[in-house]
C-alpha cells in the first residue's frame, strides 16, 4: 500500500537552535488511521505544525505521496488534499455554521452544495444549527463544525490536533466515533491526541513520541497491551492535558 504521508527524520522547532523534533518518523498509508501520543512537550503538535509549514524544519523531509511538501504553507496543502482541524480557535465565532463551512471550500465554492450535504450526513446536528453563529455553539458542536469545514474540499488526508481537548467524556466518545466514520469513508487520518488510551483504541497504528523522537510504534492494539508503554506512558498520559 502506498503512503499518503511520509515524514522522514524530521528535525524542527520554533526558536533558533532549539529543536522540538529530533529525528521523528511517521508514515500514514492510504485510508489508514494513525495516532500520535506522548507526554507533554514530546513534540506531538509540533509534528502537525511542521507538516503545515508553521515552524522551522531544519532537517529531514515531509512527503505527500510523491511530492516533497517540506515548507509548504497550509493553503497550498488544502489544494493538494490535506484537511486540518486545529485544537484552538478552530471556528469563526461571528459566522454561522453554514458560513463556516463555506469558508472550508473558498478555493472551490462550486462544490459547496454537494459537500454540505455530505458533511450533514456525518454531522446531522450541523444541519439543525446551520443558521446559528458558531460562537454560541457548545464545545462538541464547534468541534463538529471544525471537522466539517476540513472535509469540505474532499481531502485524502485529515490532520487532527487533539480533537477531544476540553470536551466531556461523553463528547470525547462522540468525536472519536465521528473520526472512525470519516476514516471508514476512505479518508486517511493522522491524529495527535492527549487521551492516549482512546487514541490507541481507534487507531490502526500509532506512534509514541518522547523528546521529539519515536519511542514506540505498532498497532494501536499492541501498544495498548505493551508493558513498557503502559508503565512509562499510559498511566501518566491518562492525566495529560497536551504536548
Q: Which among 154, 176, 195 is the end of a domain? A: 154
Residues 150 and 167 in one domain: no
Between the CA of residue 10 and those of 5, 43, 73, 169, 196, what are the distances in Å? 13, 11, 17, 33, 23
Lowest mean pLDDT of 48-52, 65-69, 97-101, 104-108, name the range. 104-108
Tens-digit pLDDT profile for residues 207-229: 999 999 999 999 999 999 999 99
Per-residue cell: 152:
469540505
Model pTM score: 0.92
At residue 209, the 3 state secondary structure works out as strand
Q: What CATH number does the domain containing 228 carry? A: 3.40.50.300
- Distance CA(162)–CA(224), nearest Å, equals 19
Tens-digit pLDDT profile for residues 32-43: 999 999 998 899
Q: Which among 154, 171, 190 is the end of a domain? A: 154
Domain hosting residue 75, numbered range: 1-81+155-243
Lookup result for grid cell 522522514: 8
Residues 56 and 163 in one domain: yes
Residues 239 and 166 in one domain: yes
209 CB contacts (<8 Å, ≥6 apart)? Answer: 24, 36, 37, 38, 42, 43, 44, 47, 215
Amino acid at each position: 500500500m502506498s503512503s499518503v504521508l511520509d515524514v522522514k527524520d524530521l528535525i524542527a522547532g520554533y526558536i533558533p537552535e532549539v529543536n522540538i523534533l529530533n529525528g521523528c518518523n511517521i508514515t500514514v498509508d492510504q485510508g489508514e488511521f494513525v495516532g500520535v501520543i506522548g507526554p507533554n512537550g514530546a513534540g506531538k503538535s509540533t509534528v502537525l505544525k511542521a507538516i503545515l509549514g508553521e515552524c522551522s524544519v531544519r532537517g529531514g523531509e515531509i512527503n505527500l505521496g510523491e511530492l516533497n511538501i517540506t515548507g509548504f504553507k497550509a493553503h497550498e496543502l488544502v489544494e493538494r488534499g490535506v484537511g486540518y482541524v486545529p485544537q484552538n480557535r478552530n471556528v469563526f465565532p461571528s459566522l454561522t455554521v453554514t458560513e463556516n463551512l463555506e469558508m472550508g471550500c473558498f478555493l472551490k465554492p462550486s462544490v459547496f452544495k454537494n459537500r454540505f450535504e455530505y458533511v450533514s450526513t456525518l454531522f446531522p446536528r450541523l444541519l439543525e444549527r446551520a443558521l446559528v453563529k458558531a460562537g454560541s455553539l457548545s464545545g462538541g458542536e464547534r468541534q463538529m463544525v471544525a471537522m466539517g469545514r476540513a472535509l469540505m474540499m474532499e481531502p485524502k488526508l485529515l490532520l487532527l490536533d487533539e480533537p477531544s481537548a476540553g470536551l466531556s467524556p461523553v463528547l470525547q466518545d462522540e468525536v472519536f466515533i465521528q473520526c472512525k466514520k470519516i476514516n471508514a469513508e476512505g479518508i486517511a487520518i493522522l491524529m495527535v491526541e492527549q487521551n492516549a488510551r482512546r487514541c490507541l483504541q481507534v487507531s490502526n497504528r500509532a506512534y509514541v513520541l518522547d523528546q521529539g523522537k519515536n519511542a514506540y510504534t505498532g498497532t494501536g492494539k499492541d501498544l495498548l497491551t505493551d508493558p513498557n508503554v503502559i508503565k512509562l506512558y499510559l498511566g501518566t498520559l491518562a492525566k495529560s492535558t497536551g504536548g
